[in-house]
Chain A
């Protein structure tokens, strides 16, 4: 499993802690942002290998942020995995349409999570 620098965008502190631990346990380096704005300023300074984004963010929605990132030359190629508790039909499609590379429903299945992260990172390497 390749080590990566992952930016996690999540507004709920407990969920943020969970995601960070999850990633650290798998050996990744983690950057954290609690809102879309924070994420955007972080992205001015560093481009991560992967972005993990909760779709339900206050203010700018996760999907809108994704769309924005896809249009910016610097962040166009950074893989984005969407995390959400909404698991109705069509939610995954919407995420992919907005430009996400992966989709993880809550409650997070650790194995699925690890698998998706690995797949996405590997694809990026190709």
Chain B
């Protein structure tokens, strides 16, 4: 996005204003498109090539603020600068809340507008870069959403009721029961309601509800434990109300809880073993397994909607790129991941472990019970890898490890007894990789029953591991960036302090040297002998020389340090030249030289730092006076450049002989002085180079003037070079400065490239 192609969209209904902005911006090299109202503006933005928008608030039809809202949605990387002739703080606050980049009131200083546009352009560049970065992350989130949609094969038929009905039918069949039902907890009312009711009592009970704690079902729901009741009527907990209602006679009941994570969300029960005999212990296991599956199905179905919402949340966070790095620190990101996992793979103990020093790991995030592992597995949030063969294996191979039955798997042999004791049965461990090295793992554990992790679940863990990996490198990058920028800040501050101190320290003794030596030459303070006066005069002129040297060095140091600030403004050229010529005239008169000024035509205003321009001109003119003998001639010429200035054979060849370039001011200082040798033409502008001629040895000079002049000219986006026919044949110094300046920004330290 170079200067040539920056497109500013001006949205304002008044033609005069359109014209004003348009001219102002075009003058500074921007391309401008005009929209007469908000609707046109929005259409233009949709085109996609607008870089910055300048928009009026008060317009007929859709207001600027409304349009701002739309633009922020359509093209959030296009900064909008709102302008109004009725500045109110409500407008400003609203605009900024809606996402405007800046807010100006009409009657602003054009420089403020240009500065704002300048900054908006830079911001846009940044945002476009971020967008690319985020695009990658977003793809991951999409992947993740798809996984949830597809889900577990069991939950893929998301007609939940149908599914549960089938499940209960199976249960009833297998357990040889007369009736069965599945009840779910209504959190609002703390009641159980029927989701599925099969068998003889079927429909009759559908509408019934039980309080948590009421009846066998209520008891199971409350305690979260299975219950085997051989003779219902003999059990005090039995609630006979339903039987009375339906005329059904309940004999034996087997009821187990449906759990999701640590919560009980409902119960399944089978009633009355047909063909005599109550339910048995092994039936409990069977029904429990069925309940687990049902639980998963229910959770998935419920949380599909919930997950969608959270995905949207995550996407939103990713969109606001600034937030991503500052709001989400690593552990927070990992915690969110664990939450997602818990939803998708319920009844599991889930955690993310980050490696620390040799053989130790830290639990960075985990489900509630993950953090409360028995001391053999964990102490104060840290684990020892010696207790975790599964994690060691993953770290070794860099690949996920799936263990369906940890009580049988040889990998886990060494801790088999422990695992049996705590009931940990199945494990899914996924590595979080940084390049190729695993620095952490996602661990999913299931209990009691061996668990077959589905391909989708395994894939989900891998997706999350990828995200975690990105999050960690982002977090690290952010930290590094922070440190780097802190260091840069510090270095920059040291440089500034140094320059300020040096400046002060050097000038203080000079004040005495120059001041007193000058005073001593005054008869009122003196009187001194002739010899003493001569010595004092020498001290005085040395002091002045030193002062000049220090100034030049400090200026150069500032330029090198990037601390050189230009204060450009629109300068009338002829008047400024006159100021300098007047001073140079004084110098020329002392050597009986003729100084002429030739200005061709009407010169436009020059956008430059007035003080520095004078510094440049004075340097060239004083050099001309210095290196031209008495009675010589010096000419200062100024004209507007039609085409690129072409160097001829005897020049320092600093610039290309191009015929293009922005309209520029050309200033030439020609003298009939000692001239320059060809080999000196290029060395001339280097620091501390004073040419090896007797003439220059006679002259006081610091050797810094031209070096500084060159820098100053370049800071203004211009060029300077010297030409000469040869020694003794005079010389011409030419400066070319673009009228509109470039690289000259007000109040911003310019990043000057180190030589």
Contact = CB atoms under 8 A, between A and B. Distances in A.
Interface of A: 14-15, 18, 21-22, 24-25, 85-89, 105-108, 110
Interface residues on B, range: 20 to 34
A18 B503 contact: no
Contact of B515 (A22, A88, A89): A22
Interface of B is mostly: helix
Contacts of A110: 515, 518
Contacts of A85: 503-504, 507-508, 511
Interface string B112-124: 0000000000000
Interface stretch (B77-85, B267-275, B519-527, B623-631): B519-527
Contact of A86 (B503, B513, B518, B522): B503
A13 to B, nearest CB: 11
Interface centre among B511, B519, B525 (most CB of A within 10 A): B511
B524 A24 contact: yes
A86 B499 CA distance: 11
B314 interface: no
Contacts of B503: 85-88
Interface of B: 499-500, 503-504, 507-508, 510-516, 518-519, 522, 524-525, 543, 547, 565
Given A85-B507, A86-B500, A86-B504, A25 B525 contact: yes
Contacts of A88: 499-500, 503
A18 B519 contact: yes
Given A21-B519, A25-B525, A89-B565, A107 B504 contact: no
A90 to B, nearest CB: 9
Contacts of B514: 107-108
17 contacts: A14-B512, A18-B516, A21-B519, A22-B515, A22-B519, A24-B524, A25-B525, A85-B503, A85-B508, A86-B500, A86-B504, A88-B499, A88-B503, A105-B507, A106-B508, A107-B513, A107-B514
Given A107-B507, A107-B511, A108-B514, 17 more contacts: A18-B511, A18-B512, A18-B519, A21-B519, A21-B525, A22-B515, A25-B525, A85-B504, A85-B508, A86-B500, A86-B503, A86-B504, A87-B504, A88-B500, A106-B507, A107-B512, A107-B515
**Pairs A-B, 3 closest by C-beta atoms:** A107-B511, A106-B511, A107-B510
Contacts of A25: 519, 522, 524-525
Given A21-B525, A25-B519, A15 B512 contact: yes
Contacts of A86: 500, 503-504
Contacts of A107: 507, 510-515, 543, 547
B510 A106 contact: yes
A88 B495 CA distance: 13
A107 B551 CA distance: 11
A85 B514 CA distance: 13
Contacts of B510: 106-107
A110 to B, nearest CB: 6
A28 to B, nearest CB: 13
A24 B525 CA distance: 10
B553 to A, nearest CB: 13
Contacts of B508: 85, 106
Nearest to B546: A107
Interface centre among B499, B507, B513 (most CB of A within 10 A): B507
Nearest to B551: A87
B170 to A, nearest CB: 84
A110 B503 CA distance: 20
Contacts of B524: 24-25
Contacts of B512: 14-15, 18, 107
Interface centre among A86, A107, A110 (most CB of B within 10 A): A107
A89 B555 CA distance: 11
A30 to B, nearest CB: 13
Contacts of B525: 21, 25
A28 B709 CA distance: 40
A39 to B, nearest CB: 21
Nearest to A21: B519
Given A85-B504, A89-B565, A15 B522 contact: no
A110 B312 CA distance: 73
Nearest to A89: B565
